[in-house]
Structure 1
Amino acid sequence: MRLTSLAFLLASVFASSVYSSSTVASVPNAAELTAQVESKVIAWRRDLHQHPELSNREFRTSKVIEKHLKSLGLEVQTGIAHTGVVAILKGGKPGPLIGLRADMDALPVTEVVDLPFASKATDTYRGQKVGVMHACGHDTHVAMLMGVAENLVKVKDSLAGDVMFIFQPAEEGAPEGEQGGAELMLKEGLFAKRKPDQVFGMHVTSSMPTGVIGLRSGPAMASEDSFTIKVMGRQTHGSRPWGGVDPIVASAQIINSVQTIISRQVDITKAPAVVSFGAINGGIRSNIIPDEVELIGTIRTFDQDMRADIKVKLAEIATNAAKTLGATAVTEIQPGYPVTVNNPELVSKMRPVIASVVGDNMLIEPGLITGAEDFSYYALETPGMFFFLGVTPTDKDPSQVASNHSPAFYVDESALKVGVQTMTQVALTALGAAQ
């Protein structure tokens, strides 16, 4: 998942709401099935954790997944969106098709966690040799969905419908110059033959205790757009600034003025939004005013109209602020992931189902999350539901532990059985197998 900061989720996640599970009967054999597969899930997770692969390079990972799915007798397709793996399970009775998604890619992060299966892997990222680590927990997502697949195969005759297992590469973003992830899977025909009637995804997070599930209706995670502003001036000696046009001062003016977009120009009572600068590149010596400065940053929103408006305002401010100082500015916006929206009807149906697994007090409603997820592309195509699984040991304070994307990110493996059972029960309920 793409994050805005290492404080991902910490500020809002414990504003919880309690849901009743009194109306939901237990799913047949869900807990028992999960108990049978738990040790396998942990073993798969450790193997994948020790052998992480960057986006669009998940070659070994896809082979592990393919081998397991074929051993279950599933119809398997490989090579979609480079390394993606998709399998179809046909239920014993007619009914809808549901999609279950797990992302596969790791991050260019060097692991510092002291584990016997810690990653020692390296690769090249943006021309530099880097460590590679499953610092966002995608190894757990793959392992859990492999476990869910095994569970559902065992009860396939009771399923009134079919399941599409989606193992997706490049959620963290494709390498520069490449396409990837959910968007490319859809472009290459993931839903072309038959679109799922519902799609579900799950993500681990260190910001909640082990076994807690976070589920929010409606907009849940922000859209994400990146921008680059090139500010052009005219080079001159630092001792004679009047002899040129200073793009550094113009850049400062742009940065300050852009802050008024959120504070003064958009209705933040409608939905929150964020515009942040992440880097300023320009100049090389103390006494040389350069020709050009580059600014890069990110936009996060929860409303599509606001998203479009902010993009227009950003470009206008950059152009006009630079012009007042004799410089010019060119703004380029690289569209990113849409808002992740959880279908309200689907969430309403599945809340008591999840509560029946984890308990009423372990199901919470987190606040809006300014991180972004490309699960959003699936949810634009069909009703979707994306939820979070806490993985921080209960004797630790989630606000004090390393967050997702940190080299110290740690997963309490006892949470994995909760994730497997929860997704199994959600799938069984969606396909009419709950009694």
Structure 2
Amino acid sequence: MTLVAQAAALSESIVALRRAIHADPEVGLHTPRTRDKIRAALDHLPLEWEEGPSTTGLVGTLKGGAGAGRTVLLRGDMDALPMPEETGLDFASTVPGVMHACGHDTHVAMLAGAAQLLAAQADSLAGEVRFMFQPGEEGYHGARFMLEDGLLGGDGFDRPLPDAAFALHIMPNAPHGVVGGRAGPLMAAADMLRITVTGRGGHASMPHDTMDPVPIACEIVGAIQTMVARRFSVFDPVVVTISKIEAGTAHNVISDTAVLTGTMRTLSAANRARLKAELPVLAAGIAAAHGLSADVEIVEGFPVTVCDANAVDFGETVARDLLGQGAFLRLADPIMGAEDFAYVLEKVPGAMFFLGVSPEGSEWKQCCGIHSTKMMVDETVLPSGAAFLAGLATRYLAEGFASGSDQPG
């Protein structure tokens, strides 16, 4: 049987695990109920399990029976989002205000399916496969913590890092069963921005007796957009969005402060560093020109997700061979969302891919995408995702990449 046929035979168990996790979502770095469901679903497999002290992250290692060789990592994230669910599904979230709206339940289910497929042929595999079940992807830096805990190996730990790493992320409004990817930057770095403009408040009828921070805050918002458009190249994109403005307590009171909150997205380390250095100077200068002050706080988020070109070529070959010649789509542009698999790809050559899970025959752009309270997926695609992950592992262990970082540890 082909991997695709074997995965189809596992469809019921893949979907069942997905639905169990979907109905019982958890947020953040500690997802013990999700971890326990994974362990129970894979308890019959010859996996060696490890956990670290910082999270409920879980790594299961499958050692091939055909001797030493390469090591490949496959990753699936486990955590949900703090938002309500409005899908009306029979297996909708039973946890108020928490929903698997980014597909992490499907990622876990596909990775568990891949583990079953690979365990069935373990005797013929040379090397090992590590299955990384990661919490805390939604802004909690779960991958970084798992790396720091040594769960993936590396300098100072008892084993080297894997030789290659892959992850798969569903897209509900992308073509049914199509895998997408691109070499280089796939997703942006994301940092949180907070600017506090401080003046002197007073009565709204007498602004001349105050130092009103609100118009200065508005001026800063406009100046940020001018800076992005006129000082950064359009060929190395930067996006700064001020999404929240807070000031005042009543209609007739001028506040002492105005607070701007937003996000900074960049596709290169150079622009990320430059934006962090120049934006505070801009805000402080505008405020000072009006006799006020501006304090800028930048909370560092995930780095740029950069995919190895050889790994993307390799993934394209696997997708076309397993799922059909039309099953791979080269993405022309990066996505300005962020992903903490970036931490893994900073240390290990590899790639992240997207899998379209819209209903077969549907329009590409349909309601609703990720992070929507109404997001749903076509579960019939999940076995294909499991087969693709397993195919990446088996072929990498056998062949490595065509060139580049393809040698064992």
The two structures have a TM-score, normalised by structure 1, of 0.88
Check if 1:34 corresponds to 2:7: yes
1:218 positional shift? 1.0
Check if 1:358 corresponds to 2:295: no
1:257 positional shift? 0.6
Select 2:69's aligned residue among 68, 80, 95.
Answer: 95
Q: Provide the residue aligned with 2:338 in structure 1.
A: 372
Question: Where does 1:241-280 land on structure 2 (aligned, <5 Å)?
Answer: 241-269=207-235, 271-280=236-245
Q: Distance in 2 between matches of 1:79 and 1:195?
A: 16
Q: Provide the residue aligned with 1:13 in structure 2.
A: none
Q: Distance in 2 between matches of 1:358 and 1:173?
A: 33
1:29 positional shift? 3.4
Select 1:317's aligned residue among 263, 282, 287.
Answer: 282
Q: Provide the residue aligned with 2:92 in structure 1.
A: 118
Matched letter for residue 106 of structure 1:
A
Select 2:143's aligned residue among 148, 157, 182.
Answer: 182
1:349 positional shift? 2.4
Q: Distance in 2 between matches of 1:290 and 1:348?
A: 56
Q: Name the SS of the counterpart of 2:81 in structure 1.
A: coil
Q: Provide the residue aligned with 1:142 in structure 2.
A: 108
Indicate if the aligned counterparts of 1:210 and 1:414 stay in contact, CA closer than 8 A: no
1:121 positional shift? 1.1
**Farther-moved stretch of structure 1 (320-329 vs 53-62):** 53-62
Q: Distance in 1 between matches of 2:372 and 2:94?
A: 16
Indicate if the aligned counterparts of 2:319 and 2:327 stay in contact, CA closer than 8 A: no
Indicate if the aligned counterparts of 2:52 and 2:146 stay in contact, CA closer than 8 A: no
**Farther-moved stretch of structure 1 (392-401 vs 136-145):** 392-401
Deviation track 1:232-281 (CA, whole Å, cap 9, x = no partner) reads 00111111111121111110111111111211001122x11101001111
Indicate if the aligned counterparts of 1:235 and 1:291 stay in contact, CA closer than 8 A: yes
Matched letter for residue 55 of structure 1:
G
Indicate if the aligned counterparts of 2:176 and 2:361 stay in contact, CA closer than 8 A: no
Select 1:82's aligned residue among 55, 60, 84.
Answer: 55
Matched letter for residue 261 of structure 1:
M
1:433 positional shift? 7.7
Deviation track 1:158-202 (CA, whole Å, cap 9, x = no partner) reads 11210111000010023xxxxx41111111112233200000000
Check if 1:282 corresponds to 2:247: yes
1:284 positional shift? 1.1
Deviation track 1:325-365 (CA, whole Å, cap 9, x = no partner) reads 11100101111101101101121223111111222222101
Q: Distance in 1 between matches of 2:6 and 2:372?
A: 33
Q: Provide the residue aligned with 1:207 in structure 2.
A: 173
Q: Name the SS of the counterpart of 2:167 in structure 1.
A: strand
Check if 1:387 corresponds to 2:353: yes
1:120 positional shift? 2.4
Q: Distance in 1 between matches of 2:53 and 2:119?
A: 23
1:80 positional shift? 4.7
1:104 positional shift? 0.1
Q: Distance in 2 between matches of 1:206 and 1:167?
A: 21
RMSD across aligned positions (CA): 1.5
Select 1:330's aligned residue among 275, 295, 320.
Answer: 295
Provide runs of 4+ in structure 1 moved above 3 Å. Answer: none
The two structures have a TM-score, normalised by structure 2, of 0.93
Q: Name the SS of the counterpart of 1:49 in structure 2.
A: helix
Q: Distance in 2 between matches of 1:425 and 1:276?
A: 40
Q: Distance in 1 between matches of 2:160 and 2:43?
A: 21
Q: Distance in 2 between matches of 1:419 and 1:400?
A: 21
Matched letter for residue 347 of structure 1:
V
Q: Distance in 2 between matches of 1:230 and 1:360?
A: 53
Matched letter for residue 70 of structure 2:
P
Matched letter for residue 282 of structure 2:
I
Deviation track 1:400-433 (CA, whole Å, cap 9, x = no partner) reads 3111010100110011011011111111100118
Select 2:257's aligned residue among 285, 288, 292.
Answer: 292
Indicate if the aligned counterparts of 1:340 and 1:372 stay in contact, CA closer than 8 A: yes
1:307 positional shift? 1.0
Q: Provide the residue aligned with 1:47 in structure 2.
A: 20
Q: Distance in 2 between matches of 1:30 and 1:361?
A: 18
